[in-house]
Amino acid sequence: MNCPKCNNADTKVIDSRVVDNGQTIRRRRECEYCQTRFTTFEKRGYTELMVIKRDGTKEMYDKAKLKKAILLSFAKRPVDQEVINTMIATLETEWSLQGNDVTSEQIGADVLEQLKTIDPIAYVRFASVYKSFASLEQFASLLQS
């Protein structure tokens, strides 16, 4: 974290404390060049993302579960793990920028949107994984699009 005054990158932490019920770490920093003191807040990133399920209940976002579902849709198809990892990381960033909650429908729709350009067979298979979350009409229109 660069100094806000002189932009020097060498700053030292002079005090750290946990605030916000353990959700945030507040750090006092001091620039080693101009001695300006400033505060940074450290929060957990997308790992605290909550998924709102179709029935309205929430559960912790589970990256491993999502990746497994995506890889399942690639069964017996060539798949580049890096492409999948990058795709998941990109989507996680988008979701966490929108807030702490993401609906299971949005996850499914966003993954589908990505798969469309990566592999058409995996796309259709993934659509069928998510059909239990969407109405039959939505599923049908997915297959037709």
Which spans of this chain sit near Zn ion (rule: CB under 5 A)? 3, 5-6, 8, 31, 33-34, 36
φ, ψ of residue 108 to 5 degrees: the values are -60, -45
CB of 29 vs Zn ion, minimal distance in Å: 10
Closest approach of Cβ 44 to Zn ion, in Å?
28
In the chain, how long is the greatest CA-to-CA distance? 63
CB-wise, 11 or 114, nearer to Zn ion? Answer: 11
Distance between alpha carbon 129 and the CA centroid of its chain, in Å? Answer: 20
CB of 141 to Zn ion, least distance (A): 56
**Which of 13, 34 has the CB closer to Zn ion?**
34
Continuous segment of H or E residues that includes residue 4: none
> Taking the complex as a whole, how short is the minimal distance between the CB of residue 24 and Zn ion, in angstroms?
24
Give the Cα separation of 106 and 66 in Å (integer).
Answer: 13
Identity of the residue, 10 or 137, whose beta carbon is nearer to Zn ion in the bound complex? 10
Residues 6+ apart with CB under 8 A from 51: 58, 59, 60, 61, 62, 101, 102, 103, 104, 107
Between 12 and 68, name the residue whose CB sits nearer to Zn ion. Answer: 12
